[in-house]
Amino acid sequence: MKKLAIVVSHPIQYYSPWFKYLSNTAGLAIKVFYLWDFGVTKQVDFGFKQEIQWDIPLLSGYDYEFAPNISSQPGTHNFWGLQNPSLISQIQSFHPEAVLLMIYNYASIYRLLWGWNQRQIPLLFRGDSHRLLASKGVKALVKREFITQIYRRFAACLYVGKANYDYFRYHRVAEKQLFFSPHTVDNERFLAQADIVDHQAQTWKQELGIPADHAVILFAGKLEDKKRPLDLLTAFLSANIPQTSLLFVGAGPLEAEIKNTVAGHSNIYLAPFQNQTLMPRTYGAADVFVLPSYGTGETWGLAINEAMCLGRPVIVSDHVGCSQDLVHNEHNGLIFRAGDISALTHSLQAALSNRERLQKWGENSRKIVGNYTYAQATQGLMEALEYVKL
């Protein structure tokens, strides 16, 4: 079997099932090298502002190894948060025939990029950045040239969607070096619970005090600036949609401000952070899921995949990375201009004006996301490996 090393910052709930899939179906001997143990040990998440440890298995079904991290402030929130001096030697001990990087903008990865003989063992990269909010000026040009030089270290790149493809091309990655490996989640885990989440969701909504006859607009994630939950809150108050509630699920820096607003208005609810096993029920409580992010920080928005797996229509801003791929306007949801609260208000009103159509949009969501699977992600990886002669 061909040996592939994969370098990831830490165990991630979206990636671990893919690694298991690769080990069982792709005909590859993979080994994942982790640079930090967040997710499998209880640590503070800088976005949620609380201790997190995922409650689903992230290290089963595939071979892995942790590279000791000597950073005084370990994490992915800063460049120096991943410092793993033994990484190169650990990878070399595995004797891979190719190395796939899932990250690059950290101290350990730069050390690997400049210290690795890519002519002997090719490097691949899978990224999800985009330029949906394009920077301009001299600083932007300098950054473009720097990133272009980084990408020249890779023999092939895997892109997760249309905006990410455009990002690679902007940085002069040749079209022949690009392979489609879409962002996906563990679809099967969500689909397997589709028949039971409705009952669980109804019970949960009753516990939260949401009226039984109300449609629910859901935001679930980190309550932070880049995701713009306050835009959604303002839009909901302006929309004045009858028999409709707004539910925020999560935690983060904006939690106190949202709580203060919720206290002064009816039909707005705030639930705490929900761990992975409770996420199907969380999406099940929604009639429509909304992600109003602004800027380049929402590189894809995997919560959209999850919501669509459970047959939920979605409303996203045009800065959400998956907007060009997963959201078909007026077919399974709506796309609005990021930061435009008036446009978001109109989108909420339009979506909730026809409940029967909204349900149809949800059915379409499930069909669309059915094409974004680990099998499809693996196909792109295998094509890239074939291109680099592995």
Q: Do residues 87 and 234 share a domain? A: no
pLDDT value for 317: 98
Q: What is the mean pLDDT of residues 235-247?
A: 97
Q: Do residues 167 and 227 share a domain? A: no
Q: What is the residue-wise DSSP string for 86-150?
A: THHHHHHHH--SEEEES--SSHHHHHHHHHS-TTTS-EEEEE----SS---SHHHHHHHHHHHHH
Q: Do residues 64 and 126 share a domain? A: yes
Q: What is the pLDDT of residues 144-187, one digit of tens each?
A: 999 999 999 999 999 999 999 999 999 999 999 999 999 999 99
pLDDT value for 45: 78
- Residue 221 sits at the vertex; the CA angle it makes with 376 and 63, to the nearest 5 degrees, is 45
Q: What is the pLDDT of residues 298-319, one digit of tens each?
A: 999 999 999 999 999 999 999 9
Nearest to 247 by CA among 278, 276, 204: 204
- Give the confidence band of 264 by pLDDT, cuts at 50, 70, 90: confident
pTM (2 decimals)?
0.95
Q: Is the pLDDT of residue 47 over 80?
A: no
| Sign of the Cα pseudo-torsion (377, 382, 387, 390, in order) | positive
Instruction: Report how far residue 222's alpha carbon sits from residue 220's, in angstroms, rounded to the nearest whole number.
Output: 7
- Give the confidence band of 126 by pLDDT, cuts at 50, 70, 90: very high
- Give the confidence band of 52 by pLDDT, cuts at 50, 70, 90: confident
Query: Is residue 219 helix, strand or coil?
Result: strand
Both structure tokens of 129: 């950045």
| Residue 41 near residue 53, CB atoms below 8 Å | yes
For the domain that residue 81 is a member of, what is the CATH number? 3.40.50.2000
Q: Do residues 80 and 133 share a domain? A: yes
pLDDT value for 53: 87
User: 302-309 and 355-369 are packed helices; what angle lies between their axes, rounded to 10 degrees?
Assistant: 110
Lowest mean pLDDT among 3-7, 76-80, 282-286, 325-329: 76-80
pLDDT value for 390: 62
The domain tally of the chain equals 2
**Cα distances (Å, whole numbers) of residue 121 to 31, 60, 91, 176:** 15, 27, 11, 19
Q: Do residues 243 and 118 share a domain? A: no
Q: Is the pLDDT of residue 29 over 70?
A: yes
pLDDT value for 42: 81
Q: Do residues 112 and 130 share a domain? A: yes
Q: Do residues 168 and 47 share a domain? A: yes
Q: Do residues 120 and 108 share a domain? A: yes
Q: Do residues 146 and 191 share a domain? A: no
- Give the confidence band of 201 by pLDDT, cuts at 50, 70, 90: very high
**Domain carrying residue 330:** 187-369
Q: Do residues 33 and 10 share a domain? A: yes
Q: Do residues 237 and 141 share a domain? A: no
Q: Do residues 196 and 179 share a domain? A: no
Nearest to 338 by CA among 313, 301, 287: 301
Q: Is the pLDDT of residue 200 over 90?
A: yes
